[in-house]
Structure formats: C-alpha cells, structure tokens
Amino acid sequence: MSQSTVPRPKLKIAILISGRGSNLQALIDRFGPAIAGSPIEIVLVLSNRPDAFGLTRAEKAGIPTLTIDHNGFADRATFDGAMDAAIRQAGAELVVLAGFLRLLTDGFIAGWHDRLVNIHPALLPSFKGLNTHARALEAGVRFHGCTVHFVRPDMDSGPIIAQAVVPVRPEDDENSLGLRVLAAEHRLFPQALRLIAEGKVRVENERAIVRDAAFAGGVLYNPLGA
C-alpha cells in the first residue's frame, strides 16, 4: 500500500528592498498570492525607504508591506533590531535581500545564519561591492553574471547557492551588460529560492550543497573559434 505524501509547508519569506524592486517583481511573479501551488509565501516586503517603488509592486500583489526608515535611528544596530523584530513578527523563516542598499550588522546576520540570502550582480568571489559591470568591462573578462548566496559578515561573501553566466560582447557598455545580467537575475533568484523552499539546499563547511538539481554540462567559450 502506498503511503500518502505529506505536502511540505510553504516557506515564509520576508523580502528587503530599497528601490524599484525589479527582482522583487520576479519573485512576485513566481511566488505571489496569485500563483497556485507556490512553495513560498511572501509574508512581508520591508523597505528602508518610504519612496521605494517596490512597495507599490507588493501592495498591488496583496502582499503586506512595511517601511522602517533608517534615518529615524541613531545607529545601525538599533535600526537592524527594529527590522529583526518586524520580520519575526511577520513569521518569516528566510530573509531575502532584493536590492536592499544597507549594510547589515554582524548581529543581524548571525541571527539569521543560513536563513539570509542575497543576489549579487557578479560571479562571486569576483567583483564584490559596487559598480560590478563597469569593473568587469575594465578587467576585460569574457564572462560576467550574478550569484545567489547565503550572507556572511564579510561583504558579498557566503556559501554560493546558484550562479548565472552571461557572455561579455565587444560592443558592450555598462548599461547593455547590466541589462543582460539583470535578466539573468530575474530567472536565477526564483530558481534558487525554490531549491531552498523544497529542502534541497544545505550548508556544509561553508559550502552550499544542492541535491536533486540538474547542473550545466560542457564548456562555454567566448569568443567562439572559427
């Protein structure tokens, strides 16, 4: 006699933003309230800026939003404490940084160890920090891309969950390269979060181990030979 499979509870996530929220929109399109069968429930979209357009995106989708303006706090630790309290009150189990333009304190990061995820517009560990597309062009690399990773106190570091690669073309400028990377982010971020929600990602010795997922094969060349 076959045993019935108990459905995995939805993973409750809080998404932190500071701006227009294009990655947020990609997550809403995959996991929003209107999506049947989603393994994820977005329980909160939190911004440190009241004018962030991402708040409007969330409100239109029927997702709870909250603004905690960092300007109203004396220091980063107090601000992070207010965010932490709001996130926990919302019932979130995973915190997702989707264009959140504030450095987090070590205490906040420790409180969400292996439950805090970021997307970075470069192939980490290369090009940490800002202006990644301009720096990639200046370095003359032939491939660029984006990385989803668990967050650690050192900036743009932590176990890598997934990466997407885009070729660098001779005619590229910072804008054209950035647009292709952003399109890759919009596809990669939901895929990585789905793997987490399905229980397929674990961290061992500061490496993210992904099971039951297909991996790319073969070799990519850029430029291509004759």
Residues with a catalytic annotation lie at 120
Q: In Å, how far are 62, 82, 84, 86, 100 from 89, measured between CA atoms?
A: 18, 11, 9, 5, 20
- Label residues 117-140 b or e (16+ Cβ within 10 Å = b): bbbbbbbbebbeeeebbebbbeee
Q: What is the DSSP letter of 112?
A: T
For residue 67, give the nearest of 105, 19, 29, 31 by alpha carbon.
19
**Using CA atoms, how far apart are residues 40 and 193, in angstroms rounded to an integer?**
8
**Using CA atoms, how far apart are residues 160 and 140, in angstroms rounded to an integer?**
24
Type of residue found at 147: T
